[in-house]
């Protein structure tokens, strides 16, 4: 994972910001969207943000 890789360019949200949001308790795309703003402008990143939320949630569970 590249902590500095942008996932949502509209809101300047990185993979690291999504991982941090999940670590802080965000468990769904909607939770992460509320915390970071990712996916709230053009929507082109929704699939990638959702995938990352699922991946990081699985990591947190282990």
- Tens-digit pLDDT profile for residues 18-45: 999 999 999 999 999 999 999 999 999 9
Measured between alpha carbons, how far is 27 from 41 in angstroms, rounded to an integer? 21
- Please state the pTM of the whole predicted model: 0.92
Pairing of strands 6-8, 13-14: antiparallel
Structure tokens at 37: 């703003």
pLDDT band at 11 (very low <50, low <70, confident <90, very high): very high
Q: Where are the beta strands (DSSP E) in the chain?
A: 6-8, 13-14
Place of tokens 């699939």: 47
Give pLDDT, residue 2.
87
Q: Which domains does the chain have, with CATH numbers?
A: 6-61 (1.10.10.1100)
């Amino acid at each position: 994972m590249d902590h500095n890789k942008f996932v949502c360019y509209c809101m300047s949200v990185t993979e690291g910001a999504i991982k941090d949001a999940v670590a802080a308790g965000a468990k769904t795309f909607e939770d992460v969207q509320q915390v970071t703003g990712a996916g709230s402008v053009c929507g082109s990143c929704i699939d990638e943000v959702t995938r990352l939320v699922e991946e990081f949630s699985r990591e947190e569970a282990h």
